[in-house]
Amino acid sequence: MHFVVLFVAALLCEISCNIPVGSLPLALVKEGASESQTAIAMGSGMFAALLVSMPLGMLTDRVGKLPVLRVAAFGSVLVMLLMGFTHGIIAGCFQMALRSAALCGYMTAQFAYASTMFSKERAVSAVGAMGILGNVAFAAGPAFGVWLWQHGIHREQYVYACVLNLIAALMVCTLPSKFDIKAKKKPRVKVIMRKVWLPALVFIACCTMQGGVNGALAVLTFQGRGIANGALIFSASALTTVCFRYPAGRLVEKFGARAIAVPTAIVQLIGCLLAAQAHQPLVVILAGCCLGMAWSSVVPVGMAILFENSSHSTRGTAMGSYNLSMGGGAAIGSIIAVIVTAMGMGYTQAILICALAPCFALIYLFTGPRKKERKTTTMLKAQESLYQ
């Protein structure tokens, strides 16, 4: 029952917080921002996630998962209200930064809390289920935001959306503290990140770069190409991720994380190439499907390596590292977006750069530090129990 409460609260909060990803670029352009300025504003959120992910992960281990979860939930309410009543490019930068900080704190604490609600054998499945939920929210939120904008509901949509955040925050307050497991000894400050995590984190970051470029430029680019809903690529990607996450996890279990990373990089390469030249909705959908298939494998690849080398006492830090890699990749992607637009180029050149990044990251994934990789029957049983 408590997991259901956590699950529903996460769905409401994440759908609401993802609405601005689709509609805020349209709002900023209407208020006079250029394409480059809009990319900076959208990228501000990605930089914020990069800066706060590790501190929030460590904070979760120190003060507890529930306090961070509750503060982040109520913080998201305030952020959505701020988006509804403040305007302009500078306000947009602060809005997206605060939104990312609140969402990053929420997801870090939520994942860590979910992993302690079940046995070790089911921890990966629990976190994986929450990750799938995030994809559903990302499929719905941005496209819904664009749809509302096209039907005349502009900044006020954020005020309406904050009601979902408030409901989620109140639901979070009902969660029991018995699952908020803390280490008997506080982690030493000098232990920030384990070396064996780095190859997985670099690979995740390189695969997330396309998310930074798409978040900054996709809506305006595809709308300029005559596609009605520029957030279509987000919906296609996220829904495909939901469909392929479980099969991807099973493949990771059977063949190993590093082996599955190779076709993952290839599929993402194809997705980026399609997105670069997409001028019809069908091609945008195909590009999103390829990116979604790739992302469905990126998460279990990263989680398999991180979970093999973390315990309950460092789980928050591990999830913080995971969010750091995603935030870092998205931030790099947003930098690329800003640079190419400032140079007079655009989305096509930026997404082509992202097509190659995971291929280069494979080199470090195979040659970087690691423990002896083994096929984990634990993860297999966990996912089987989730889908039975």
Q: Give per-residue pLDDT as tens, 47-74.
A: 887 788 778 777 777 777 888 889 999 9
pLDDT higher at 1 or 102: 102
Indicate if the alpha-carbon torsion angle 145, 146, 147, 153 is positive or negative: positive
Amino acid at 49: A
pLDDT higher at 82 or 242: 82
Provide the pLDDT confidence category of residue 266 given band limits of 50, 70 and 90. Answer: very high
Alpha helices (H) along the chain = 2-30, 35-63, 65-85, 89-115, 120-150, 156-172, 198-213, 219-224, 232-255, 257-276, 281-308, 315-342, 347-367, 377-387
Residues 370, 376, 382, CA angle at the centre, nearest 5°? 130
pLDDT at 380: 43
- Taking alpha carbons only, the member of 226, 286, 270, 265 closest to residue 365 is 265
Average pLDDT over residues 84-95: 91
Residues 171, 172, 178, CA angle at the centre, nearest 5°? 125
376: left (phi over 0), alpha (psi -120 to 50) or beta: beta
**Both tokens assigned to 247:** 């099969």
Amino acid at 247: P
pLDDT at 106: 86
Provide the pLDDT confidence category of residue 2 given band limits of 50, 70 and 90. Answer: confident
Average pLDDT over residues 224-252: 85
Q: Does the pLDDT value for residue 83 go beyond 80?
A: yes
Q: Does the pLDDT value for residue 317 go beyond 90?
A: no
Q: Does the pLDDT value for residue 375 go beyond 50?
A: no
Q: How far is CA 136 from CA 9, 130, 333, in A?
A: 13, 10, 22
pLDDT at 386: 39
Q: Which residues contact 318 (CB under 8 A, 6 or more apart)?
A: 57, 197, 306, 307, 309, 310
pLDDT at 265: 93
Q: Does the pLDDT value for residue 253 go beyond 60?
A: yes
Are 18 and 138 a contacting pair, CB within 8 Å? yes
Average pLDDT, the chain: 81
pLDDT at 310: 58
- Taking alpha carbons only, the member of 101, 102, 122, 105 closest to residue 64 is 105
Provide the pLDDT confidence category of residue 280 given band limits of 50, 70 and 90. Answer: very high
Average pLDDT over residues 347-357: 93
Q: Which residues contact 89 (CB under 8 A, 6 or more apart)?
A: 28, 31, 32, 33, 37, 38, 40, 41
Phi, psi of 285 (to 5 degrees): -65, -45
Lowest-pLDDT range of 76-90, 164-178, 294-308:
294-308
pLDDT higher at 6 or 33: 33
Lowest-pLDDT range of 75-79, 107-111, 201-205:
107-111
pLDDT at 176: 78
Q: How far is CA 388 from CA 182, 382, 385, in A?
A: 30, 10, 5
Provide the pLDDT confidence category of residue 195 given band limits of 50, 70 and 90. Answer: confident
**Both tokens assigned to 278:** 């997409």
224: left (phi over 0), alpha (psi -120 to 50) or beta: alpha
pLDDT at 268: 95
- Taking alpha carbons only, the member of 174, 159, 208 closest to residue 323 is 208
| 3-state secondary structure (DSSP) of residue 173 | coil
pLDDT higher at 189 or 25: 25
Percent of the chain with pLDDT over 90: 30
Q: Does the pLDDT value for residue 168 go beyond 60?
A: yes
Average pLDDT over residues 239-259: 84
pLDDT at 154: 93
Angstrom distance (rounded) from CA 24 to CA 34: 13
Average pLDDT over residues 333-352: 90
DSSP code of residue 343:
T
Provide the pLDDT confidence category of residue 108 given band limits of 50, 70 and 90. Answer: confident
- Taking alpha carbons only, the member of 321, 337, 345, 205 closest to residue 268 is 205
